[in-house]
Chain A
Amino acid sequence: MELEKYELGGTYYKEKDLKDGKLLSLDWKPKLQYAWDDGVAIGRYLAELKKGNIIARKCNKCGRIMIPPRMFCELCWRPTDEWVDCKDTGRISTYSICYVNWDASRIKKGEKPHLPAVIEIDGASPGMGIMHILGEVDPEDVKIGMKVKAVWKKPAEREGSITDILYFKPARR
């Protein structure tokens, strides 16, 4: 049954055809709003971010100090034991230089590209990373393994969110 023997479905149309009214279409903007309960672990994580602190949770059985914190160790299958304060420094485990926004539009001319990165936080177990963005650094200077430090919002502006950390910048020794 070679595919070539069949007439395949699927009919292409150009974006322009839509704009020119050659095809009828319907728009709908859904109103989808959620308010997620943070629970114990993330609730504390966010509350500590508001205070300018990165907090982790330790499982005494496997010894992992985990970020983001969780009330249960998913590997040992037992409740975690204690809160551990981490530093607000870390190492870049991987990064990218991004020229597109979340909706696939391009950044404007002259705008700096976004620098997302996975940062292993000092004080947590090796390999424990969080996703965040880099700032105050030229894209060409970013290296995997580079030491970075968090730049926080002013205390009065913090909300208890991951964005209370504005970005991570290269750490001076």
Chain B
Amino acid sequence: MLEKVAIAGLGFTEFNSVSPGSSYRELTYEAAVKAYEEVGIEPKDVDSFVCTSEDFLEGYSISDEYCNDQLGAVLKSGQTIPGDFIHSLSVGVMHILTGLFDIVVVQALSKASNMKTIPEMVNFAFDPVLTRPLDITSYFTAGLEMNRYLAEERATREQCAAVVVKNKANALINPVAAYGADVTIEQVVDSEPIAEPVRLLDIAPYADGAVVLVLCSEKTAGSLTEKPVWIKGVGWSTDAPSLESRDWTEGIATRLAGDMAYKMAGITCPAKDIDVAEVNDEISFKELQHLEALRLFDEGDAGKATEDGKTALGGMLPVNPSGGGLGMGHLFECSGAAKVVELVQQLRGEAGPRQVPDACIGLAQAWRGIPSTSAAVAVLSAD
């Protein structure tokens, strides 16, 4: 990489199932204040702002209009990325690599509690001619995919449930997580069927929250923070959007995004080099599929590794120590942000009871959720 890019400041709210006391503006303001205070900057010091949002998630068109006041970004360069936070993070990285921008702020927000008809909204993303008229539950694609994944013996049903058990347990010791709980494999497998084999407890419930990050160039990092976390590599990719022509087993977009990020970071053996990983677990089996796509485990091994405790806190490669989406809550386009938040804390040594000892290189992966095939990956490092 030509120029090093640092995450200097971090600000985030709690993740909760509801947030009635704050409007979306006030939620972002809270996260922004924390991030700017941490590094002692004011909005006037920032060169560019990158927000993350999708119109139908916020409930108004051109959601770009309503992103900037609460970041102090009035009459400044601001843009919106309809993607995941990690896409916006990548745009922030590209800014700094040009050498023309020094401090860039990246933001994402979830107000899932304000979306009253989420299944219809997810359905609204399906192909309007080929898929939507079938009018099935929006989780049917998850069911199709999980069924295929299990049929190809990549994991067992119980191993997928083990992901839920692990992540919800991790969330119990994460003060900002919304859905920490003590569940058993049986409870997961016996919970209400949604789109077999996907059951209710396999699905990450929704949550609200906001995250703001301050990125900067290497030369500025020293003046802003004593514990910069370096962005070593970013990658993103999109596979076929059509249901009819996609691969139902592999997370191909995740593999391509991961490879791009590893190349940029100079990592040739991810399974050895990555100390801690935060990957999308919106549906339980997705964590396993993504771990394999990211080359952290071989094909068919991720499920076994989870069962054996290798991905638990204290295991060989802790995965989703934050509790992931299953434990923290699914934050839509802010999902990747929650993962980066956890990694930054881990790499700074500030993750408290969830701290992975000597964590030096971390990986955050986001998938944009049903029905997309887009993924984005960031590799972060403490030095």
Contacts and interface: CB of A to CB of B under 8 A. Distances in A.
Interface of A: 26, 28, 30-43, 70-72, 74-75, 77
A77 B133 CA distance: 48
A30 B120 contact: yes
B69 A26 contact: no
A39 B56 contact: no
Contacts of A37: 19-24, 111, 113-114
Contacts of B129: 26
A166 to B, nearest CB: 25
A32 B117 CA distance: 6
A74 B20 CA distance: 22
B271 interface: no
Given A33-B116, A37-B111, A71-B26, A26 B133 contact: yes
Given A28-B132, A34-B59, A39 B114 contact: no
A35 B18 CA distance: 12
B94 interface: no
B295 interface: no
B62 interface: no
A40 B121 contact: no
Contacts of A38: 23
**Which residue of A31, A37, A74 has the most chain B CB atoms within 10 A of its CB atom?**
A37
B136 interface: no
A32 B69 contact: no
B23 A42 contact: yes
B15 interface: no
A43 B116 CA distance: 19
B115 interface: yes
**Which residue of B22, B24, B36 has the most chain A CB atoms within 10 A of its CB atom?**
B22
Contact of A31 (B26, B69, B113, B117): B117
A34 B115 contact: yes
* Closest 7 pairs (CB-CB, A-B): A39-B23, A34-B59, A74-B69, A33-B116, A31-B120, A77-B72, A39-B26
A167 B372 CA distance: 45
B70 A72 contact: yes
Contacts of B36: 77
B43 A39 contact: no
Nearest to A38: B23
Interface string B1-36: 000000000000000000111111111010000001
